[in-house]
Amino acid sequence: MLNNKRRLIPLLVILTLSFAVRGLTAYFIREHLTDPGWFQFGSYAYFDRKAQDILDHKSSIFLIDDPAQTQAAIYPPGYPVWLALVYKLTGERSPASVQRVQWVLDSFSVLLLVAIASLAFNWQVGMATGFLAALSPLLALYGAVPMADAPTSWVVLGAVWLLLSALKRKNLLLALFAGILLGLSCWFRGNAILLPVFWVAALVLVQARWRERMLFSLAVVLGFVVLVTPLLIRNAVAFHVFTPTGLGAGTNLWEGIGETNRATEFGAVYGDAALLEQERKAVGVAAGEPFSLYYPDGVRRDRERARKAFAVISSHPVWYAGVMLRRMAGVLKFAGTPQRFYGSAGINVTSTKCLPESRQGGVVAVFVTGLGMVQSVLRYCALPLMLVGIGIGFKRDWRITTMLLSTILYYLVVGSSLHSEIRYGLPMQALLFVFAGVTVAEIATRITKLTGHTIGTAHS
C-alpha cells in the first residue's frame, strides 16, 4: 500500500504539470487560431467540411461519394469522423471545441509515455520521462493544436506499448493488437504506413529463435493489414490508387525538392500556392476556373510530381542524402531560431503569452514564468539527454532499445525522404523523451549513491 502511494503522488504531480503546460499553451493557440503561422486552418477546413457533411447526412463516413473529386483522396477518413464525434458531443462545430477536447486528452497521454518507459526500463525511468514529457514545449504545442497529429501519435504510442508488452509477456495476441492499433493510426494520418517493415526488422534482430521471429512478425503484420485493407480497397476502387491516403506523396516529394537550394535548377517550387500557380500556367487553366492541387485529374498530376522528384533524386543521390540529413537535423532542433520548413518546436509559456491580461500579475504569473524558464532549459538539454540515453539504453537492454529505436528511426529516416515537418513525426518526438528519461534517472541514481556514500563515510 505504501509503495502504491509513493507511485501515485509523482503520477499526480506529472498529470498536474502536464495539464498546466498544455492548458497554458492551448490558451496561446486559441488566441492565434486565425494565424496560419500557428494553425493551418486551410487544411483544417477540409476536415471540418467533411465532418459537418457527415453530421448533416450529406456525406458517407467511409465511402467516397464522387470519384471525380480526386481531392477527397488526400486524407484518410478517421480524423473527419473524430471531428464529427467531438462536434456532436460538445454541441459546437468549431476548432475551439476540438482544441478543448484534444489538449485535455493529450495531457493524459503523458501517462502512456510513463507506461512505455516503465515497461521498457523501470519505474524511475518512467517518472523521469513523465516529468520531461509534461514540460516539453514541443509535445504541448501539438497537443494544443486542433489537427490530426496528436490523436495519431496517441494511437501509435499505444501500439508501441502493446508491442513491448507482447515481447515482455511472449504474448502473440498483444502483438496482433499492436498491429491493429498501428493500422488504426493510418485512418488518421498515413505516416505510419511502412512502420511495420521497421518493426519486423527489429523483431528479427531481437528475438532469439526463428519461430518467435516469424510468429510475432506475422501477428503484427496481420493486425496491421486488417485495419489498412479497407482503406486500400476504398481508394483502389474510387481512384485506382493503392495507398491508404490516396494522394500527397508526389506533392511532398516535389515540394521537398522545392525547399532545397537547387530548386530553381530543377524547376521545383515550395508551397502549395506556388506549386498550384506553376501547374495552372503549365496546363493553361484560366484563373477563374476550378483548379486545386488534386482537381482535376489529381491522381495523374500527383504521380507526375513523384516522377519528377524521383528523377532528380536518382540523378543526384549523394546530394539528396545530404538534404535528408539536414531535414533530420531540422526536426530535432528543439532550441534556438526555428528553421524555415519544419514548423515550430513549441513555445515557452509566459504570463504575457498564455494568460489573459487580468491575470498577468501575482502568484499565478510567477508560477507560469517559472515553468517557462524550466522549459527553456529543457530545450537545450533535451537532445543531449536523448542521445546519451540511447547509449545507456543499449547497455541496459539492447533488445528493448532496438525495438524503441525502430519506431524513432522510421520517422526520422523515412520522414526525411520527402518534405517533413516536426508534427509529422510526433510519435518519434515523444519516444525520444523515454531516452531522455533514461539519462535523467541514471544521473539521479548516481547522485543518490554518491550522496549516500558521502554520508556513510562522514558517519564512520
Rg (Cα) of the chain, in Å, rounded? 23
Q: Residue 341 has which C-alpha cell? A: 520548413
All three cell numbers of 229: 485493407
Distances (CA, A) of 200 to 159, 223, 310, 320, 408: 14, 13, 27, 27, 14
Decide: 439 and 392 in contact? Cβ < 8 Å: yes
Burial environment of residue 55 by CB neighbours within 10 A (0 to 12, 13 to 18, 19 or more): middle
Alpha-carbon torsion, ordered 306, 308, 314, 319, to 10 deg: -100
Cell digits for 180? Answer: 491493429
Question: What pLDDT score was predicted for residue 394?
Answer: 97
The one-letter amino acid code at 361 reads: G
The structural domain count of the chain equals 1
Q: E strand or H helix at 259, and its extent?
A: none
Range of the domain at 204: 2-459
pLDDT of amino acid 72? 67
How far apart are the two ends of the chain, measured CA to CA in Å? 34
pLDDT of residue 244: 59
CA 395 from centre of chain = 27
- Asked if residue 158 lies in contact with residue 112, where contact means CB atoms within 8 angstroms, the answer is yes
pLDDT (0 to 100) of residue 76? 87
Q: Encode the chain (460 residues) as per-residue pLDDT tens digits.
A: 556 677 889 999 999 999 999 999 999 999 999 998 899 888 899 899 999 999 999 988 888 877 766 766 678 899 999 999 999 999 999 999 999 999 999 999 999 999 999 999 999 999 999 999 999 999 999 999 999 999 999 999 999 999 999 999 999 999 999 999 999 999 999 899 999 999 999 999 998 889 999 999 999 999 999 999 998 888 888 777 666 555 678 898 999 999 999 999 999 999 888 998 899 888 888 877 888 888 888 888 888 999 999 999 999 999 999 999 999 999 999 998 877 889 999 999 999 999 998 888 889 999 999 999 999 999 999 999 999 999 999 999 999 999 999 999 999 999 999 888 999 999 999 999 999 999 999 999 999 888 865 555 555 5
Dihedral sign from CA coordinates of 330, 334, 336, 337: positive
pLDDT score for 294? 83
Long-range pairs, 256-261, Cβ under 8 A, ≥24 = 256/309, 256/323, 256/418, 256/419, 256/420, 257/308, 257/309, 257/312, 259/340, 259/341, 259/419, 260/323
Predicted local distance difference test score (pLDDT) of residue 359: 87
